[in-house]
Amino acid sequence: MKLGFYVNGLPVTVDTPPLRSLLSILREDLGLTGTKEGCGEGECGACAVHLEGELVKSCMVPAFQLSGRSVVTIEGISAQGPTGLQDAFLQEGAVQCGFCTPGFVMASEYLLRNDPAPNEAAIRKGLAGNLCRCTGYGSLLRGVQRAVAEGYTPRIFPPLSGEPFPEDSEMSRKSLEEEGIFLPRTLEEALKILETHGEDVLPVAGGTDILPDMVKGVRETPRKVMNLRGLAELEKLEYREESGALEIGAGVTFARIREHPLGARDLPALREMAAGVGAVAIQNMATLGGNLMTASAAGDAAPLLLALEGEAVFVSSRGERVIPMEDLYRGYRKTARQPSELLLKVRIPSRVFGSSQKFFKVGTRKALTISRLSLGCSAIEKAPGIFSRVRLGIGSVTPWPMLLPRASELLENRPLSMEYVKEAAAFLARDVVPRKDTAYRQEMIRNLICRFFAELLEKRVVQS
Amino acid sequence: MHHAGMIGGRIERNDAWEKLSGKAKYVDDLSFPFIWYGGTFRSPLCRGKIREIRRDPEFDWSSVVVVTSEDLPGPNEVAMVEMDHPILAEGEARFFGEPLALVGAPSKELLKKALEALTVEMEELPPLLDPREALKNLDMVRGKSNLFKEYAFSKGEPEKAFSEAEHVVELECTTPHQEQMYLEPQGMIAEPLEDGGVAIWGSMQCPYYALGALCHGLGLPPEKVRVRQTVTGGGFGGKEDYPSVLALHAALLARKAQRPVKMVLDRAEDISCTTKRHPSRSRLRAGFSGEGILQALEVDLLLDGGAYTTLSPVVLSRGVLHATGAYRVEHVRIRGRVVATNSPPNGAFRGFGAPQMLFGVERMMDAVARELSLDPAEVRRRNILRPGDTLPCGQQLRQPGASLVLQRALELSGYEEKRSKPRNVSKNRFRGLGISLYLHGGGFTGSGEEEIGGKLRLEASRKGILTIRTSSVEMGQGVSTIFAMIVTELLGVPYEKVLYGVPDTREVPDSGPTVASRTTMIVGKILQQACEGLAAELLQRGRTLFSEPRIRWENRQYILPEGEPLSFPEMLERVLASSEEDLLAWESAYTPIPGMGWDAEACRGDAYKDYSWGANVLEIEIDGDTLEISPLRLTSVVDVGTPLHPLLAAGQVEGGALQSLGYGYMEDIGYREGKYTKHRMATYAIPTILDTPVMKVSFDGIPFEYGPWGAKGLGELPMNGGAPAMAGAVEDALGIVPRDLPLTPQELFRLLAEKRETA
């Protein structure tokens, strides 16, 4: 495809296969080798760039999503000589082999642009998506702190130059379709495409689960791909009176979910879950819909949405279809979606707003981790120590995320004591038999259920 | 201008701006006109007879080149310590992923298709994977004995001492493969030269190793081979031996295609197929008094070498020579063996046998403490090496820094006060405190430095530019800066005018490999001598030029009996102008240290020129519900003689310490049935910034007489202390006894269950 977009303020056009990554385009077509490939699968952060001002991992951004958009790379940041941040890194010894360095500069610039005076915890969070093997991170942390102390302000990028790229013409869309790439402009168009091509088409939003695997040949490259990014109908995030629910569009990123005000007030577990997906750059790209529809057993969102009594709303040319979250998964990596449908949105009903809720995720490290176990919890305290609507969603221990089946039966509508909860938790944990590390994971499930209730019984959380 | 006072200062790295701005060119950033791409067709089995490599007739094979073992112009050997490592498997594949054939293609897409169009018919053989089974030699991995190497030596009368000891404790520990995970994957570019030779660019630690392997494997004389190191994104030992394999592969393809060929490993391939840290199993037995004084120690170290020798004998040697750790023991029996298995070959990784051995030794000291209900710090104090003590190999230590670093670490960390605090900080959170005391012999073992006879050349141009010509490579550790500092300090020239020449075998002498923590300690010393030699040479020339024998070189100046003193560049300009030369050069070679000797087979003599020492105090918190470990604070005090650049040196300590902690509790390669099941960055977890403890690093040292300004080895030392401190901290927090790494939550769970059962 012919791709026109902006790099470091200047317009560029390249001829590239539509699934090719932004990283490859920068390095191979444009000779901008400052952005590095350390892993090609969105882990190490050496490929980090700014895409329309957001920190993203360029190894996971496909060409067909770049049309007319603006990218800033390390070369752009460095164009006028060393920035105060780069100097701070130098002074603090934060540069050793240098391979991770451009990625850290991009991540730090992004952090400081959004938070000019971050504390240590915020700096660590902001850099958690970048790996370094040489420095032990101390000097990188001190470098950012030094820049902050010196009053460093990130450079604002000059406006884009050159004529704006023309809208993709009908002809270019047609030729892309012949290559198997669909770029619908509206949801209606997208649904029509699905009507015609059904199972042959793979819808792609953020692409973070999909693209790296495709590029590496771990997942078969689909014959046809449909871009969902930019479809306004999929990207709404709002509370709606009509449905009495928070409606999260399938195309909403975890970053937006994380920042939504309802997260602070009434849905703290939702914020917790969103903030734990990968790290900052992944949250900027990955969508709720992508996460749910990839249907990984270890997916982060489903266990919590199950606990929060979520509903999945599918849409096709024939209209909408609502199903409870429990019915979303039919088997290992199999969802209830019909070939002509798209996931439109997920609803979280207001009856769980302000519930006692928590999201636990246990991984192999504190960021950038596939979950070893996740547990989404929600309960509504009717009277002191008595709960209704107790729902516990588990992930990574069963072939697909599910509710612990006997949670209601064992934990609702009776005064709870910790001794009782411990016993009940043991029963609930034994209902699940993970294939690997069975005893350990059952123990963890038991402990986390106990931890959830212990906090409640100790604090007596009052609903809003 | 930067003159005196460089040493111990904070001069800026001289390679930082290229790295910060993205301008630095790593091998994958380079491209040549008409470049092709190379890939490797690999064995799908851990072990099997190769019947036939088949090409799918549907593919147009004329569009690519294929190289098999039948196309080799020289012996099918990658020159290393032994010659048993084939360039391409022939007859039998001995590890999963062993290279069977190479493909070169004009595009990456075509390369991928060509690799998919190759298949191999193999007759599967049962792999030998347990090193203990390998010892029995019933099933021989390479057709000859599976024992790559054995060392055995003793001191005193261990059996008698054991029988007389009041207490005896036995322990068995294991450690797994560890992946270096340098951020830049391995890569090479090869270009065929018109005279039949080959030029190589690549990410590597030892250009001369690659040169040797290329000459041997391609049957070429050294004049026809040129190896250049590109900016290298981390090595940690992983780019010590493997680059020889990759360079040969790229060269073979380049010669066949008559095109430049680039081979850069994809991360998953890099993890799956390059060398790792040797897994170990150590058995230790200690006899000690009621006061915890060690009287006898027996150590048996077994390393898994994988399918080919690579550097195994040297890893083993270092392991056994660190078998008594930082402690004095009169009666010792030490045995070490490294065997062949069908694991992918293991090789160099920071520490090189010492992290494995010291894990066992430190666990043993903690076992002694446990047995006698003594504080682990106290047990160490009571047994610590003192000035004048002799190691089992017979080396006498004039001034071991062990006490110094231990004392300081305990003070700085507030150990005593923290020790008295409760471990259970809240219902489900447990704090633990662990210590480790460790050492690392600097430079090559025994007479290795004498055998290498490293050389270095210093060139001074008329324009006042000093260029350092050495094969030691900058890979992040800071050598280009340290060496420029040394020249600046000694010759009084501006720092900005000292260049670090690209390690190019055409342009630099062989200073030896960039390994073994030798670069500052040994090669830095050679550089120091080269500076002195160059200044002396210029002095001679100056005296001749001015016909003035009274000129002196003092305080970075040429003092004339009359008139103003001349700086080095000023004298240089005058001398070279008069002789119409452009360059004054001086080459220095390693000077053996007087009074040191070594018997390799008997393991007797001065094992290392000197030792560096370290002590760690680690505080962790464990989540009782999930058994996840959070490292909170690490205090690390090291004796490296003199840190020439404390900021850069602290960076080595922090980085190595974190890598060592990762080894201890997080890094798990999932080795099963001869394969690394966790061979992606997503599955082989290394620490992120959120997993990093607050670190406090301090230098406290006893200078090494023969090191530049007293500097000793630094690079590997920090790798030796993290895992044992982690094990001690876990033991302290939960009352379980870790013996096997990594200490994942599942392992902690298993140990807790074991403890409950035995209770």
Residue-level pLDDT at B17: 97
Nearest-neighbour CA in chain A from B645: distance (Å) = 10
State yes or no: pLDDT of A463 exceeds 50.
no
Residue of higher predicted confidence among A462 and B230: B230
For residue A458, count CB atoms less than 10 angstroms from its CB and return exposed for 0-12, middle for 13-18, buried for 19 or more: exposed
Distance (Å) from the C-alpha of residue A246 to the closest C-alpha of chain B? 31
Nearest to A298 by CA among B317, B23, B682, B153: B682
Question: What pLDDT is stored for residue B4 in this prediction?
Answer: 61
Structure ipTM? 0.97
- The stretch B184-191 carries a mean pLDDT of 98
Task: Give B358's contacts (C-beta < 8 A, 6+ positions apart).
Answer: B322, B325, B436, B438, B439, B720, B721, B724
Looking at residue A460, what is its pLDDT? 58
| Chain A contact probe: residue of B688, B744, B746 with most A CBs at under 10 A | B688
> Running DSSP on this structure, what letter comes out for residue A15?
E
Rounded average pLDDT over A280-295? 96
pLDDT in tens, B233-258: 999 999 999 999 999 999 999 999 99
pLDDT at B2 > cutoff 50: no
pLDDT at B442: 97
Compute the distance between CA of residue B460 and CA of residue B474 in angstroms, rounded to an integer. 21
A293-to-A203, A384, B590 alpha-carbon distances in Å? 10, 39, 64
Residue B533: exposure state from Cβ atoms within 10 A (0-12, 13-18, ≥19): middle
Q: For B331-369, what is each residue's pLDDT tens digit?
A: 999 999 999 999 999 999 999 999 999 999 999 999 999
CA atoms within 13 Å, Cβ hemisphere of B37: 15
pLDDT at A216: 67
CB contact under 8 A, A98 and B666: no
Contact across the interface for B651 and A139, Cβ inside 8 Å? yes
Beta bridge partners of residue A226, listed in sequence order: A182, A203
Binding-face residues of B in 407-436 toward A, CB within 8 A? 427-428
Task: Please say whether the beta carbons of B325 and B361 come within 8 A.
Answer: yes
% residues pLDDT > 70 (chain B): 99
Mean pLDDT value of segment B397-408: 96
The helix (H) or strand (E) run that includes residue A131 is none
Task: Tell me if the bond preceding A102 is cis, omega within 30° of 0.
Answer: no
Task: Fill in the amino acid letter for A393.
Answer: G
* Mean pLDDT, rounded, for B656-661: 98
Is residue A443 very low, low, confident or very high in pLDDT (cuts 50, 70, 90)?
A: very high
Lowest mean pLDDT among B155-159, B353-357, B419-423, B585-589: B419-423
Q: Which residue, B79, B27, B462, is CA-closest to B233?
A: B27
**Mean pLDDT value of segment B69-74:** 96
Question: pLDDT band at residue B616, thresholds of 50, 70 and 90?
Answer: very high
What mean pLDDT do residues A84-95 have? 98
Per the CB < 8 A criterion, the answer to whether B225 and B218 are in contact is yes
pLDDT band at B1 (very low <50, low <70, confident <90, very high): very low
Cβ B12–A73 below 8 Å, yes or no?
A: no
Question: Got the DSSP string for B302-314?
Answer: EEEEESS-TTHHH
CA-nearest of B616, B292, B613, B284 to B436 is B616
For B303, phi then psi, to 5°, come to -110, 145
The highest-confidence range among A64-68, B57-61, B702-706, by mean pLDDT, is B57-61
Higher pLDDT, B759 or A207: A207
**Cα distance between residue B740 and residue B748, in whole Å:** 10
Torsion of the alpha carbons at A99, A101, A102 and A104, rounded to the nearest 10: 130
Helical axes A101-114 vs A84-91, angle rounded to 10°: 120
Residue pLDDT, tens place only, B291-327 = 999 999 999 999 999 999 999 999 999 999 999 999 9
Q: Report residue B88's pLDDT band, with 50, 70 and 90 as the boundaries.
A: very high
At residue A214 the predicted structure's pLDDT band, cuts being 50, 70 and 90, is confident
pLDDT band with cut points at 50, 70 and 90 for residue A263: confident
- pLDDT band for position A462 (cuts 50, 70, 90): very low
Best mutation site among B19, B270, B645, B654 for testing chain A: the one with the most A CBs within 10 Å? B19
Closest CA to B41 of B84, B97, B109: B97
pLDDT-derived band of residue B426, with 50, 70 and 90 as boundaries? confident
| The token pair that represents B476 in the structure block | 């992040």
d(CA B229, CA B204): 6
B695 contact partners, CB below 8 Å, separation of at least 6: A136, A138, B633, B634, B635, B636, B653, B654, B657
Q: What is the mean pLDDT of residues B37-63?
A: 98
A75–chain B Cβ distance below 8 A for any pair: yes
Q: Which residues of chain B lie closer than 8 angstroms to A275, CB-CB? A: none
**What is the nearest CA distance from A42 to chain B, expressed in angstroms?**
8
Q: How far, in whole angstroms, is CA B702 from its chain's centroid? A: 23
Alpha helices in B258-401 (DSSP H): 267-273, 312-321, 354-372, 376-383
DSSP H stretches of helix in B429-511? 448-452, 479-491
Nearest one of B752, B743, B467 to B586, comparing CA atoms: B467
Mean pLDDT of all residues belonging to chain B: 96
Tokens of B182: 């340098």
Closest listed residue to residue B148, CA positions, set B140, B156, B160: B140
- Residue numbers of B between 261 and 280 with CB closer than 8 Å to A: 266-268
Answering whether pTM is above 0.90, one says: yes
